[in-house]
Structure 1
Amino acid sequence: MEGTLFGVGVGPGDPDLMTYKAVETIERCQVLAVPARGKEHAVSYKIAAGKVKHIEEKECLNLDTPMTKDRQMLEENYKKAAEKIINELKKGKDVAYLTLGDPTVYSTYIYIHRIVKEKGYHVEIINGIPSFCASLARLGDSLADRCEQLHIIPSSYAITEALEYPGTKVLMKSASKLGEVKEELVRNHREAEVKMVENCGMPEEHIYENIDEIPETAGYYTLLVVKEPKK
């Protein structure tokens, strides 16, 4: 019998925010997969290690993904990763691909998931708490009230037009262009309430309560929350 691929969301950073189902799934799988050169470099593995007993005894596939927007290069990488996973599934082993936050939100995993599924293998997604939900909890606020709109925006791309959307804007993966993002907000959205959470739930967590506190550079796991003034 062939194995199953599980895309497991381990949450935003605090191991205590992992779901019971995520922990149980990882414990049940014979093989882990991480999007890094090795498990010692994988944040998702370090989070899971805080809750999963004997995790170090499991086999681990190192599925490093290049930091690029080159579609062809990425597609080739996803295919190679899928092949490595399929080799384990053919042996009857279940594979847990560990991903930060939730596998359905801007996750590398989903591209591999689709390839493996198209090849006829069983795949399943185990949800995790998204970073933007955890970050707003840390800020002690809601993402959206009543009829307010909520927009999740990948801010490593063009954001000028997206910042004009009404309601709350969550700017994901802000670190690579943080200086530009901050400049845009100061120039055209000075009246908006802007807060930033870096490394939510991790030992290196930092919270910035307004635009003036936000630095020019930050770590990869950084998001901004932009709320327009209520009318």
Structure 2
Amino acid sequence: MKQGIFYAVGVGAGDPMDMTLRAKAVLEQADIIVTPIPKAGGTSAAYAIAAQAADLSHAERLDILFPMQAHNDYRERLRSGVLQPVCAALDSGRQVAMVTLGDVSVYSTASYVRQLLAEKGYATQVIAGVPSFCAGAAKAQQSLCENSESLQILPAVHSREAVETALEQFDNLVVMKAGRAMAWLLPLLRERGLLEHTTMLRDVGMPSEYIGKPELEPYSYFTTLLIKGGDL
């Protein structure tokens, strides 16, 4: 029997209108849709977005637990554990798609799962999506980088020292997952005179979306800072 194909599918930042036609086509032909959830009984923002843009009624849904703040070792064990039912489905010839927010290539669990499956010899494909910082920059009508400016993308889970180093080495920064780090990020940006050159994105494309000055609370897990220092 011919094996199925695993698709890692980016569904965009939050607005179903931003999900690509290719993503819609792949999801509508998939037999199983793998859905990462942050906790047992939790919901999936990625699946909710996809369900508004594509007809998923025919597909079996497979929820897999992926805690956002789990220790790396524990998260890796979970990622390895997801392979058993996915491999069984692929071995039976079924097409499997795993949805992820934004784009698969940017801090995505789906990318790691795809890599593990590829290493096991399964056929895989990656379907691009619109990253939140690109969607947010478009809504803010802001360029991420221009001319010869450099751009660094990093998560705020790094230390203050790592962000300071990035500020010194790159013209512009995209700081993702910034919600829990705002207590030290805001003073740092203020000290460097960058606060007025920073745009905050929160929950882009979702009902709780905010795009504007970075001092408005609350800060969610999906908080991103666009820091423009190239013209200073």
1:176 matched residue in structure 2: 180
1:39–1:85 distance in 2 versus 1, CA, 3 Å: farther
1:120 has 2:121 as partner: yes
Q: Aligned in 2, Cα 1:40/1:155: closer, same or farther, shift over 3 Å?
A: closer
Shift of 1:196: 0.3
Distance 1:119 1:225, change over 3 A: same
How far 1:84 sits from its partner (Å)?
A: 2.1
TM-superposed CA distance for 1:166, in Å, is 3.0
Structure 2: give runs of 5+ residues left out of the alignment.
none
TM-score, structure 2 as length reference: 0.91
Q: Secondary structure of the residue that 1:50 maps to in structure 2?
A: helix
Q: Does 1:9 align with 2:10?
A: yes
Structure-2 separation of matches of 1:52 and 1:40: 21
Tell me the SS of whatever aligns to 1:143.
coil
| Correspondence list, 1:76-95, <5 A | 76-95=77-96
The verdict on how the C-alpha distance between 1:229 and 1:20 changes in structure 2, with shifts beyond 3 A counting, is closer
Q: In the alignment, is the contact (CA less than 8 A) between 2:16 and 2:53 conserved in 1?
A: yes
Alignment of 1:28-177 (within 5 A): 28-36=29-37, 37=39, 41-53=43-55, 55-68=56-69, 70-158=71-159, 159-177=163-181
Distance of aligned partners of 1:39 and 1:58 in 2 relative to their CA distance in 1, 3 Å threshold: farther
Name the CA distance, whole Å, in 1 between partners of 2:147 and 2:41. Answer: 42
- What TM-score do the two structures reach when normalised by structure 1? 0.92
The 3-state SS of whatever aligns with 1:62 is strand
Amino acid at match of 1:179: A
Amino acid in the other structure paired with 2:5: T
Q: Point out 4+ residue stretches in structure 1 off by more than 4 angstroms.
A: 37-40
Aligned length: 227
Structure 1 residues 70 and 156: CA distance shift in structure 2, 3 A: same
Check whether the contact 2:194–2:229 (CA below 8 A) recurs between aligned residues. Answer: no
1:65-120 deviation digits (Å, cap 9, x = unpaired): 12345332122111101222111111211111000000011111111111111111
Contact 2:27-2:33 within 8 A present in 1 as well = yes
Partners of 1:121 and 1:27 in 2: how far apart? 21
Structure 1 residue identity aligned to 2:188: E
